[in-house]
Amino acid sequence: MRSIYMAAALLLAMLIAMYLPHLFGGEGTNAINPVLINSSFLSPSLLSSSAAGLNGLNVPLALQFVGGLNKSLTGLRNLRTELDNLNETLALIRSYYSNALSMETINYSEARLWASRGLDLVPTAYGTWLNASRELAKYDPSLSNVINAINESLSQQLSAVNQTLMEILRNKPASIAPYSPSLLQVNAPRLVKWGDPIVINGSLSGPPHRPLTIIIGNTTMGIATGANGSFSSVISTDSLAPGNYSLLLYAPPYMGNAPTSAEVNVTVVGEPVHLAISAGTAVAGSTLSIRGTITPWIPGNSTLLVSIDGINETMTINSPTIDAAIPIPVTVGTGRHVLTVTLLPRLPMASASSSVVITILNPLQLSLPPIITAGVAALALLGSRRRPATGGGGAGASEVEARILSATMGRTLGEGARQVVHALAEAIYAVGNEVGHKLMPNQTLREYFAQVGPKMDPDRRDALWRLITLTEPVLYFTHEPREEELIEARELLRRVIHS
């Protein structure tokens, strides 16, 4: 077993020793030219490499050579950590070293920045190796010669890097070559249907594989030019709502080539649709019925935004036919109002909007006139005489009934409607005598209820409120109560008076 550890350690040492000379391209200010390592006695999978050169050691596979499949060797975990850290640090040093050399005659300030970063990592790399060497020494004291050899090779490489980077910091060149101008050409469509991709292409001067950033809306993506400086890209419009967009392409400074940018205006259009709506009259505190159609219709769930007097309601529909109701708050005043329904955009449908003028009546804002006409009063009194008394009526209830009927502005009510009004008048008269508040000439029914309701027990209060809501359509519209509503009105009156 001891001999296996020795052989494995020697193999690992050879790998590291082979890797280091090719990590950096030489001493002084020579350009970096990474070379792939080919070895007849090493498995290619043991080395992690690419077309640009050797990237580092295949740590998991190397550890198998050192420790085999024996998972009880806990030291392998520490060794793996240190080797991973070493690989990462050496890769960063290589990148900073390369950037510093490439920028030395182009942008000296940038070259100094990269050199400073590389110098900061040199002692880190050496310290990481020392930790790894301690883990290696734990397997066998006789590995000290191998460790010393690796240490010497690593020290030589890092010393050369350190010397080159220090020279860049100390010696500012006499003249700095200016950026070479960059030329960026872009071809892009000006009009795209929502859901179809935006296909762009073009060319950018400079070396191949030059990076480009594309920005449109909230989408940002990076691409690179090909071998001849050309590029192409496909941008999805699914996340772009219909509208006008600025398509921006930006090329940062690269290997002596100046930064440049280009901008193209692109319009994303949705499938046009037509929205038609209709709505009737509504009473504040109730609901408004809305009907409409959407053509053409594309199956799916769409969202409607309904607006009236700054109040917005949203609803979801899944068919081209709109048949919905929205609540009208009691804060909406009596009069004509603009109702606007907007269909929000949904891929690939564009937005659409339609408006109609509707009438809303607010009973709380319909004040009773202070002078009751004799004709209306006589009709009310005649009606009260024709109906049998249901309790507590008399001249006082007739006066209340006349005040309620004044809201009709002289319109003649049918027999059923007058029965409902009479029931409410008797209820209000009875409540007024009990709580000490009469219906005043300038009060609406709801204002009166807000005054007396808190002084009533719950059942009687609920009965009075329901009786008011039964009467409002009779007063403000041409509603003729059904037989079941007349029965309900009489029962509600009984609850108010006899509860």
pLDDT value, residue 105? 62
CA–CA separation, 417 and 134 (whole Å): 103
- Asked whether the predicted pLDDT for residue 335 surpasses 70, the reply is yes
Domains 184-269 and 274-365 share a fold: yes
Residue the block writes with tokens 């990592």: 121
DSSP assignment of 458-491 equals HHHHHHHHHHHHHHHHHHHS-----HHHHHHHHH
Look up residue 232 and give its DSSP letter.
E
Residue the block writes with tokens 């001067």: 205
pLDDT value, residue 193? 95
- More confident site: 356 or 39: 356
- The number of helices, as runs of H, and strands, as runs of E, in the chain is 11, 18
pLDDT value, residue 320? 94
Q: What is the pLDDT of residues 71-126, one digit of tens each?
A: 434 555 666 677 777 778 877 887 887 777 777 666 777 778 888 888 888 888 77
Q: Which CATH architecture describes the domain 274-365?
A: Sandwich (2.60)
Q: What is the pLDDT of residues 375-394, one digit of tens each?
A: 433 333 343 333 333 334 44
Choose among 24, 173, 26, 162: nearest CA to 90: 24
Average pLDDT over residues 418-442: 89
The two structure tokens encoding residue 65: 């050579």
287 band by pLDDT with thresholds 50, 70 and 90: confident
Q: What is the pLDDT of residues 138-160, one digit of tens each?
A: 765 666 766 676 677 677 777 77
Distance set, CA 206 to CA 148, 165, 264 (Å): 46, 27, 22
Record the pTM.
0.41
Strands (E), 205-320: 211-216, 219-224, 230-235, 243-251, 260-269, 274-279, 282-283, 287-295, 302-308, 311-317
Helix, strand or coil, per DSSP, at residue 46: helix
Cβ atoms of 350 and 269 closer than 8 Å: yes
Residue 367, number of CB atoms within 10 A of its CB: 14
CA–CA separation, 46 and 37 (whole Å): 11
CA–CA separation, 443 and 65 (whole Å): 98
Cβ atoms of 408 and 478 closer than 8 Å: no
Average pLDDT over residues 411-415: 87
CA–CA separation, 416 and 422 (whole Å): 10
Strands (E), 73-218: 184-187, 191-193, 198-204, 211-216
- According to DSSP, the β-strands at 260-269 and 53-57 are unpaired
Q: What is the pLDDT of residues 344-387, one digit of tens each?
A: 999 999 999 999 988 888 877 654 443 333 343 333 334 333 33
pLDDT value, residue 155? 74
Structural domain boundaries in the chain: 2-170, 184-269, 274-365, 374-498
467 band by pLDDT with thresholds 50, 70 and 90: very high
Strands (E), 296-444: 302-308, 311-317, 321-327, 335-343, 352-361
Average pLDDT over residues 169-176: 60
- Asked whether the predicted pLDDT for residue 36 surpasses 80, the reply is no
Q: Please state which of the four CATH numbers 3.30.1310.10, 3.40.50.880, 2.60.40.2950, 3.30.70.260 is assigned to the domain occupying 184-269.
A: 2.60.40.2950
pLDDT value, residue 4? 44
Average pLDDT over residues 295-316: 90
